[in-house]
Amino acid sequence: MLEFLQQPWPWYVAGPLIGLTVPALLILGNKSFGISASLRHVCAACMPAKIPFFNYDWKKEVWNLFFVLGIFIGGILTANWLMNPQAINIHPNLVTELSGYGINDYSALVPTQLFNWESLFTARGLIMMIGGGFLVGFGARYAGGCTSGHAIMGISTLQWPSLVATCCFMAGGFFMANVILPFILSL
């Protein structure tokens, strides 16, 4: 059983499982799926200030905080006990391209030359981790939700703004991966 959990699941198993969360949430409590709103709920719960954006009944959305906590705990359990011990398979063309930027250690889930404490305090690390994190958070709030909320929940409930947002997320991701990221990696 452990070997089954450690291997990558095929798209035709993982995709429907993710997709079935939408009707399950709608049937069980008329809830919407999404992750980025949980930060707003945490801020509303922890900030006593009367900031209008955080002044709402966050207790109605406490289920979302438990959902995000479950994702966090699941990540810890997976990283410690369910990781596949084999090396990560990366396409040879990508290996060749990344080696041109000095990235050749794929022993972890992410390249260790990019994501470690030492590189955080370099120009490349600050741009990628701090700047990227800010832009993702800002973009999720500006778009009215994150990729999972729009692409999984919004499109499945036939919301036109979610289709537009998902197309923009994809276009931005392609632009980032093919134009901006090579520039950042060459720093």
> What per-residue confidence (pLDDT) applies to 168?
92
The answer to whether the pTM exceeds 0.85 is no
Element spanning 155, H or E: helix 155-156
The predicted-structure confidence for 51-86, as pLDDT tens digits, reads as follows: 888 888 888 888 888 988 999 999 999 888 887 777
Contacts of 152 by beta carbon, 8 Å cutoff, 6+ apart: 18, 19, 21, 22, 33
pLDDT in tens, 145-167: 888 889 888 998 899 999 999 99
Q: Are 19 and 152 in contact (CB under 8 A)?
A: yes
How many Cα atoms sit within 13 Å of 107 on the Cβ side? 4
Q: What integer pLDDT is reported at residue 170 of this predicted model?
A: 93
Q: Which tokens go with 114?
A: 């990019």
Q: Which residue has the tokens 């990558």?
A: 8
Q: What is the pLDDT of residues 101-158, one digit of tens each?
A: 888 888 777 888 888 888 888 888 888 888 888 888 888 888 888 888 898 889 988 9
What pLDDT, on the 0 to 100 scale, is given for residue 52? 86
| Exposed e or buried b per residue across 129-158, where buried means at least 16 C-beta atoms within 10 angstroms of its C-beta | eeeeeeeeeebbeebebbbbbbbbbbeeee
pLDDT score, position 37: 82
User: What is the token pair recorded at 43?
Assistant: 């801020």
What is the pLDDT confidence band of residue 96, given thresholds at 50, 70 and 90? very high
Residue 158 DSSP code: T
